[in-house]
Structure 1
Amino acid sequence: MRYLALAGVVGMLGVAFGGVSAAPVVITRDAPDLDRWMYPFNSSSVGTRPGASCFGALGQTELAGFTFDERDAQVLVGFDLSADVPADLCRYRITQATVRIAVTTDGAFVYDPTIDARETYFGEAMLPGGVADGDAGRPIEMFGVGYRNGFDAGSFVETSSFGPMIAWRVRNAFATDYASGVPRDVSNSLVDGLSVTAFAVGTTTVVSPGAVVPANTDFRFDLDVMNPDVDAYLRDAISGGKLRLAIASMFPAESGGGGGPGTGAYPTFYMKENIFGAGRRARLSLTIEPCIEGDVDCSGVVDVDDLNIVLSDWLGSGDGDANCDGITNVDDLNLVLGNWLSVG
């Protein structure tokens, strides 16, 4: 109640000085700083392949002593952000994050822009309770990247090893949905019983859903920046200066090898080493909008909610730290009161 009372006093005093906000930070890249095929049998051309495919290995619980991840072949793309993020960036909103990348394959797979229920994969995965898929094809999904065996976004490079062995649950870099801020491995979400939310699904305007996809078709991945897990992952990437993303799918792999039985109907993407990759390799567009000064919760207005956050976090180092100096104190209170009712 005392917080609301203080806000009322401020309102009666008519404090409104006009907030200050910086211009949006727009980061664009026409090529990745890192791209890599994360596939256990990719040992002869690590980080230098002109193309990288993504497919699944469902229903393979054991093959000659090895078991493959359900999301078997994954494609990693990475962008270094440190040079583009202002050193004094404090409170901000991520309003847009898009990755584009084109396929090299011609007529190899059918376009599906929709998420398929996990039960539609159960038949291929030899799990009970499967249902039919209501549309043709499988979606191409984008996730964050998690690490194991001592690696992180800074130490895992194009030439880093896939993992200690050819098996499932061992890859050093893996697709993650960053659920509740935890970089869990979603490579085996079916058998693990995980309900997974992708960061984005690949879409294109070149063909209609259900149609065969021609070569050089550009796919667009609009990351769901309104998803708190995606937002948290992107903020960690911005803070660390390295954005790493994984493209994955569960298209059936090629028959007679390559990860298990299947049709071979899956996409292959341009890598930056491809001599024909200009305008087709992975590209990034990321927009960061700094919040107005004093707008602690980035709601677009400096109001009682911001005041309450500051007072609740007093002498702490949490959300009430309006000026991002590491502690919530009188400077933050003054910043809120000095910009009271500012809109931006």
Structure 2
Amino acid sequence: MLLGALLTCSAAAGESVTLTILEPSEDRWMYPSNGTPGFRAQASTFSALPAAGDQDDRFGQFIVKFDTESAGIPTGLGAENYEINSISLSAVIAQDRLFRYDPSEDHWSTYGYLALPDADSGRPLELFGTGFRNENEASTFTETSPMGDASRGKRNAYALGFDPSGAPRDVSNNVTDGFEPAPWAIAEISGLSTGDLVPVDTTVIYHISHGQADIGRYLRESLNQGFIWLTVTSLHPALQQGGEFVSYYTKEDPVHELFGDSAPRLSISYNLPELGFNSFERKSSGEVALSFVALPGFSYVLQASPDLTENSWMDLETFSTQTARSFSWQQNSPQEKRFFRLSRTPLSL
């Protein structure tokens, strides 16, 4: 008795997938004096240093959420099954020449009252994940959710990093607490040199370090859930109604609402999980039973053949699904010799 399993796949299904999500599903300026959370046209990042007191060092933060499931990335495959090739966030500066471009990380000791000299001009624009506390969760937090207690280390959503052991931590007060925050990305600006003033409508790009173990795990777990939260911050000194704050357009900006090119956007390249049978067996009763994981956006065809010749393959069943799920199939198989194969093709083809 001979049974065989073959897999075939269209070229489009086997290659990496690249997509861009043109705006966040949620974006919020996390600042205590934000009277219109979720509805502002701009969100700024800045520091409460050098005298932070009972305020977070990273006083003004900008959090964004991207709905990756709606963008077509299947959920529920298990975090370990998501292979990310590249991922980046881009955002557009909303005010003119208020800060200088700095593409390098500045040591924490160069900030605050007792700051050591900084080797270059400007301060970097930094990106992290997003953490939640005070019974708030990533799955239910929205752009209109309350900021919470504005005092040091208590805001409901905050810039999330990892310590050297891989444990998650709030990096909002890394200067006061004296540690390097290890940003997930530092903004890059094409056409500018270190120390140049940054013009309005400049696009900055954060290439996220997805290859680092802790960051990669956070991103894969996010894809498995269907959304990614990120936090943009900086430690630029700010004054009342002034200073070197950095302002970004949000998805509520009127120009973006008209033309769709100003809000933060997420670009990601990832590989589809390999096509394969989870189980494949012939039972003592003579039935053949098999299962496989199907992804949304594809048509799957299960075929059988007695001898592997091209004209002998017969369709047994066609599968498709709106969500990632496991399909099981079984059928009585009287033939002593039978081969099976599975193929998938994008539904758009």
Partner of 1:225: 210
Contact 2:84 2:270 in 1 (8 A): yes
Partner of 1:6: none
Contact 1:19 1:292 in 2 (8 A): no
1:85 partner letter: I
- The aligned length equals 269
Contact 1:55 1:250 in 2 (8 A): yes
Partner of 2:18: 26
Gaps of 5+ in 2: 1-5, 277-324, 327-349
Higher helix share: 1
Partner of 1:78: 65
1:226 to partner: Cα distance = 1.2
Contact 2:64 2:231 in 1 (8 A): yes
Q: For each residue in 1:156-200, what CA deviation from the matched residue of structure 2 results, as whole angstroms up to 9, or x when unmatched?
A: 10111111x331111000001144554311100122233321111
Distance in 2 between residues matched to 1:162 and 1:199, nearest whole Å: 23
Q: For each residue in 1:145-165, what CA deviation from the matched residue of structure 2 results, as whole angstroms up to 9, or x when unmatched?
A: 0000011111110111111x3
Q: 1:183 aligns with which of 147, 168, 187?
A: 168
1:222 to partner: Cα distance = 0.6
1:54 partner letter: T
Aligned-partner SS, 1:73: strand
Q: 2:201 aligns with which of 201, 204, 216?
A: 216
1:41 to partner: Cα distance = 1.2
Partner of 1:172: 156
> Percent of pairs identical after alignment?
34
Partner of 2:85: 95
Aligned-partner SS, 1:132: coil
Matched, 1:132 2:117: yes
Q: 180-189 or 80-89, which moves further after superposition?
A: 80-89
Matches within 5 A, 1:263-282: 264-277=243-256, 278-282=260-264
2:251 partner letter: K
Higher strand share: 2
Distance in 2 between residues matched to 1:219 and 1:110, nearest whole Å: 13
1:77 to partner: Cα distance = 1.1
Q: For each residue in 1:195-240, what CA deviation from the matched residue of structure 2 results, as whole angstroms up to 9, or x when unmatched?
A: 3211111111142221111100000011011111110110111011
1:144 to partner: Cα distance = 0.1
Partner of 1:340: none
1:40 to partner: Cα distance = 1.1
Contact 1:178 1:233 in 2 (8 A): no
TM-score, structure 1 as length reference: 0.71
Q: 2:98 aligns with which of 86, 93, 108?
A: 108
Does the C-alpha gap of structure 1 residues 92 and 235 become closer, same or farther in structure 2, counting only changes over 3 Å?
closer
Distance in 1 between residues matched to 2:151 and 2:159, nearest whole Å: 16
Does the C-alpha gap of structure 1 residues 27 and 178 become closer, same or farther in structure 2, counting only changes over 3 Å?
farther
Give the CA RMSD over aligned residues.
2.8
Does the C-alpha gap of structure 1 residues 61 and 246 become closer, same or farther in structure 2, counting only changes over 3 Å?
closer
Distance in 1 between residues matched to 2:176 and 2:209, nearest whole Å: 26
Q: 2:142 aligns with which of 143, 157, 165?
A: 157
1:289 partner letter: N
Contact 1:161 1:172 in 2 (8 A): yes
TM-score, structure 2 as length reference: 0.70
Aligned-partner SS, 1:190: helix
